[in-house]
Amino acid sequence: MKKKIVGIIIVLLFCFSNSEGQAPNNDHLARLKQSLNTLKVDTAKVLTLQDISDFFVNKIDSGLFYSLKASELAHKVKYREGEMKSLLQIEIILRHSGNTVKAFSAASRGLKLAIQYKDAFYQAQFLGELGIILGGRINFDIALSYLRQAKSLYRSIHEHEMSAYMDNNIGEVFLNKGELDSAQFYCQVCYNAPTPRYYWIKFYASLNLGKVNLRKSNYNEALVYFRNSLETALFYSHFFNCNLYLAKTYLYLNERDSCLQFANKAMEIATESRITSQREAANAFFASIYEKTDPGKALAYTRAALNYKDSSTQFNEKLMIERFNEFDTQERQYEIEASQIDYKNKVRTYAFLTSALILMMIALILYRNNRLKQKINRKLGDTVSHLKATQSQLIQSEKMASLGELTAGIAHEIQNPLNFVNNFSEVNKDLLAEMTEEMERGNLGEAKQLAKNVIDNQDKINHHGKRAEAIVKGMLQHSRTSSGQKEPTDINALCDEYLRLAYHGFRAKDKNFNAKIETDFDAGIGKISVIPQDFGRVLVNLINNAFYAASLPSKGGISEQGSHKNPTISVSTRKNGNTILISVRDNGPGIPQKILDKIFQPFFTTKPTGQGTGLGLSLSYDIVKAHGGEIKVETGEGAGTTFIIQLPAV
């Protein structure tokens, strides 16, 4: 057991230090690599491969390579503990590289082996890893179930320190759920538990308690725990996280000097460790610091963070393609071997029974075996279905990761009109108090003037309230997944209908607006398969934008009264081979080339503040892409704009 505990400590330290930049002892590493050529194919070679993998805490590619080799060799020589430890290393690398689906698969396979070999310690290890994976905002209830099972197993084998660490992980799941009181309770239990062997546990408990107090706005308590975690930190990522959270806490306390001190330290650690994810986080935090005081610096830091994010994604994608194929091949090979062994065992069993028993006994045994296999298959089927459902949740969670970015943009956009509403409400309160005083004094003229000011402010409150409402409605449209079904649709009739509706809607807002409408519909198009409600939204957005652009002054197109002369909107359809082209053209001022590549981004708009949310073209782009088409724009300053939708003619 002591040998096993030492091995697990090494693996845990590998987990906590992965991508944290500790420089390995190059001489010792060279000796380990050299010894591979002289060692026999046995457990010693497996342990050497695992030790080499532990050295590459900052190189995911190399770490995964040696762990896979160790797993393959351990399986070959039937070294059970080595096989499970290698699988644990592989799972940790996959999880820290961001591939939670593959990590879940590796942990599930490891759990099956641990159950097969009746190893309670490794069962607890893999249950804990599954809990960590699912606790990252994927499936909290199942995560808690796995972590509690792991805690119970650790207690049964008297691993009380690891049992306390499971309390910390349970608290972290509640922290992700937003149940801060429960999170604080479990993390405090771990923090108070004696953990002399695994002293790094105190670091994680302190860090999580700091996060809980930060979320509760208990900033002074958060500082105490973050400083405690800093004192017990071991690796680059430990120091980086501590300094970054201390900087965030001081930012909330408006202590800018302390905030910059720890933020600079975090940036220094990220630069020294050369970890792109840390550099991305540090630059993103500096962008938030300078967001209001120095937009230029904030933009520079934001760009740097995005560059590090892109480089990290490209690197991970490249190495994961190379290594995941090897991991999948290894899994398939093990399945084939298991099937062959099972087949040989069945052949031997049937041969023995044929020579030893009479036909009636053989028939009875076969019947019982068949019933047993059916029962096992049902249980296995339920387990596989459960794993597939959980993996589907993981994949869906990754697909919806971008929703967090959209929510952040909405919060920024909606804050402006809400500030106006709050400010004018406060002003009205003061004005009404003054008006009451003036009325008591008999100054009706002054009271009327104050009442007029209140009415004007109420109009502004109403205006900005509607502006906030428009942003929220646009957000709901943008994030909603349509449940509609595609159906054969007369695209010409659809274009004509929404053109008229848009025109009347625009005139309802501006009764003085008139425009010339031109249509050129290709009668040979017939019906194509689209979702009418969704595609109608695309047409309304494009046509409304065209009416707005046509109503603006254009170079060379100004009348004596200063308004645009002869606003004209053209909508046309045409079939070109296997493609349907739908064009919406206006004779407005056109789109400047410098902003042309931004027009499909969420919240980007050229309209004055309060007149547009910047979601129409972004929503239209997503809908057209979902229909298997493309949307292009042709424009020139002073020459109008044409949006062209290309759809497959099916």
Q: What does the domain layout of the chain look like in residue ranges?
A: 335-399, 402-479, 487-648
pLDDT above 90 as % of the chain: 22
Task: State residue 47's pLDDT score.
Answer: 80
The per-residue pLDDT for range 268-284, each reduced to its tens digit, is 888 886 677 788 888 89
Question: Of the ranges 82-86, 149-153, 524-528, 594-598, which is most confident?
Answer: 149-153
For residues 141-150, give the mean pLDDT: 92
Task: State residue 442's pLDDT score.
Answer: 82
Of 14, 617, 111, 26, the C-alpha closest to 386 is 111
For residues 617-635, give the mean pLDDT: 87
Could you tell me if 190 and 198 are in contact, meaning their C-beta atoms sit under 8 angstroms apart?
A: no
Task: State residue 120's pLDDT score.
Answer: 92
Of 373, 1, 39, 50, the C-alpha closest to 197 is 1
Does 639 or 18 have the greater pLDDT score?
639
Q: Using pLDDT thresholds of 50, 70 and 90, give the confidence band for residue 586.
A: very high
Q: Using pLDDT thresholds of 50, 70 and 90, give the confidence band for residue 556.
A: very low
Does 595 or 645 have the greater pLDDT score?
645
Average pLDDT, rounded, for the chain: 78
CATH of span 487-648: 3.30.565.10
For residues 624-648, give the mean pLDDT: 89
Task: State residue 403's pLDDT score.
Answer: 42
Q: Using pLDDT thresholds of 50, 70 and 90, give the confidence band for residue 329.
A: low
Q: Is the pLDDT at 217 greater than 80, yes or no? A: yes
Structure tokens at 85: 């430890």
DSSP 593: G
Does 118 or 553 have the greater pLDDT score?
118
Structure tokens at 580: 């349907």
For residues 414-440, give the mean pLDDT: 80
Q: Is the pLDDT at 209 greater than 90, yes or no? A: yes
Task: State residue 583's pLDDT score.
Answer: 94
Task: State residue 337's pLDDT score.
Answer: 54
Of 263, 335, 361, the C-alpha closest to 105 is 335
Task: State residue 585's pLDDT score.
Answer: 93
Q: Using pLDDT thresholds of 50, 70 and 90, give the confidence band for residue 332.
A: low
Task: State residue 170's pLDDT score.
Answer: 94
The per-residue pLDDT for range 533-543, each reduced to its tens digit, is 788 888 888 88
Could you tell me if 16 and 200 are in contact, meaning their C-beta atoms sit under 8 angstroms apart?
A: yes
How many whole angstroms separate alpha carbon 368 and alpha carbon 373? 9
Q: Is the pLDDT at 261 greater than 70, yes or no? A: yes
For residues 110-134, give the mean pLDDT: 91
Task: State residue 613's pLDDT score.
Answer: 63
Q: Is the pLDDT at 517 greater than 60, yes or no? A: yes
Task: State residue 312's pLDDT score.
Answer: 55
Question: Of the ranges 125-129, 137-141, 422-426, which is most confident?
Answer: 125-129
How many whole angstroms separate alpha carbon 188 and alpha carbon 197? 19
Task: State residue 4's pLDDT score.
Answer: 47
How many whole angstroms separate alpha carbon 519 and alpha carbon 538? 17
Question: Of the ranges 335-349, 358-372, 633-647, which is most confident?
Answer: 633-647
Handedness of CA 142, 145, 150, 153 (dihedral sign): negative
Task: State residue 478's pLDDT score.
Answer: 43
Q: Using pLDDT thresholds of 50, 70 and 90, give the confidence band for residue 558.
A: very low
Q: Which residues contact 420 (CB under 8 A, 6 or more apart)?
A: 460, 461, 464
Give SS3 for 444.
helix
